[in-house]
Amino acid sequence: MNDPLSEVIALLQPRTIFSKSISGAGRWAVRYSDFGQPSFCAVLEGSCRLAVDGHRALTLEAGDFVLLPATPGFTISGFEPATPTRIDPKVTRAPTGEVRHGRRGGRPDVRLLGGYFVFDSPDAALLVSLLPALIHVRGVERLSILVRLVGEESSERRSGRELVLTRLVEVLLIEALRATSGEDAPPGLLRGLADERLAAALRQMHGQLARSWTVAQLAKTAALSRSAFFDRFSRTVGVPPMEYLLAWRMAVAKDLLRRRDLGLAEVAERVGYGSASTFSTAFSRHVGQSPGRYARGQ
């Protein structure tokens, strides 16, 4: 059976663009403006305060991992009051060495590894909308091991460093999503997968994408009445079941079209359409251009 979370991550096509070591001591605060790209922060030692726009402030401790899939504005600081230094990551040049905030000399109060991804998928906004806006993970041994490995790799200048860091951060992304409590998550895929009834339907949608699903059939896989399933899915995942299915079919279709190794009829069949013309009509309505034009544009 297909794993919906693995498929979403695979279609996002994450790659690490930049990572940096950050430390702070004494009185310090930094305000980052809205970035939009996915970013992460791993606490290597010590503690600090993180306030992300729209969320309550968090105290971060050694071993914590934070993922912001669409990075709104946020402030990171020590625990003493301080006027934040403002940084716009869209225009500020990336530093080459460790970034130090606050008191320059002596041992830092906190050491972090921060960075950002780029999702290569043209459907990144759709897929990111299925994930929580802020993911904060604590006390997961597998993540702690990965964070330590990232810290060691980032502090040494060994050959292959950038490739190793990229792979480690990709695994951090997957482990962070795995470790997130779906029941506490906002509406989206993680919360849907935490619901045993809905998870069964989601796995069927992903595992048998070519099937002509109806709400009644999906409700049966979830052992719910049609109306109860529709209401529960819409409330938990954030969109109605057939809207989710259509969006996922189109995301997969775009990926297949970008590869350009299948004919239009085969793509249509793979994503649940009985004919190329029916698929073309649905694709054009959803995407705003025909499948052929989309493929040529890629």
In angstroms, what CA-CA distances link 13 with 36, 119, 120, 161?
Answer: 16, 5, 5, 20
CA distance 261 to 265: 12
| Other beta carbons within 10 Å of 120 | 12
pLDDT of residue 281: 96
Query: Which is more confidently placed, 90 or 45?
Result: 45
32-58 pLDDT tens trace: 999 888 888 889 899 999 999 999 999
Considering the segment(s) 189-297 as one domain, its CATH architecture is Orthogonal Bundle (1.10)
User: Hunting for tokens 């989206």 — which residue is that?
Assistant: 188
For residue range 153-171, what is the model confidence (pLDDT) as tens digits?
A: 777 778 887 788 777 877 8
Looking at the chain, the whole-number percentage of residues with pLDDT higher than 70 is: 95
Average the pLDDT over 101-110 and give the result: 93
Mean pLDDT of 165-194: 78
Q: Is the pLDDT of residue 245 over 60?
A: yes
**Between the CA of residue 48 and those of 78, 117, 186, what are the distances in Å?**
5, 23, 25
Task: Please report the pLDDT score of residue 62 as a whole number.
Answer: 92
CB atoms within 10 A of CB 298: 12
pLDDT band at 250 (very low <50, low <70, confident <90, very high): very high
Q: Across residues 182-207, what is the average pLDDT?
A: 86
* pLDDT beyond 60 at 1: no
Q: Which two tokens stand for residue 41?
A: 């922060």
- Residue 86's identity, in one-letter code, is R
Helix (H, G, I), strand (E, B) or coil at 272: coil
Could you please report the per-residue DSSP string of 146-163? HHHHHHHHHHS--TTHHH
Question: What's the alpha-carbon Rg for the chain, to the nearest Å?
Answer: 22
146 vs 290: which has the higher pLDDT:
290
> pLDDT band at residue 92, thresholds of 50, 70 and 90?
confident
Give the CATH number of domain 4-180; options: 2.160.10.10, 2.60.120.280, 2.60.120.260, 3.30.565.10.
Answer: 2.60.120.280
Angle ∠(131,48,84) on CA atoms, nearest 5: 90
Residue closest to 268 by CA, chosen among 288, 240, 292, 289: 292
pLDDT value of residue 183: 66
Average pLDDT of the chain is 88
pLDDT of residue 19: 75
CB atoms within 10 A of CB 177: 23
Structural domain spans, the chain: 4-180, 189-297
- Checking if the pLDDT of 94 tops 60, the result is yes
Q: What is the pLDDT of residue 31?
A: 96
Nearest to 173, CA basis, from 285, 66, 48: 66
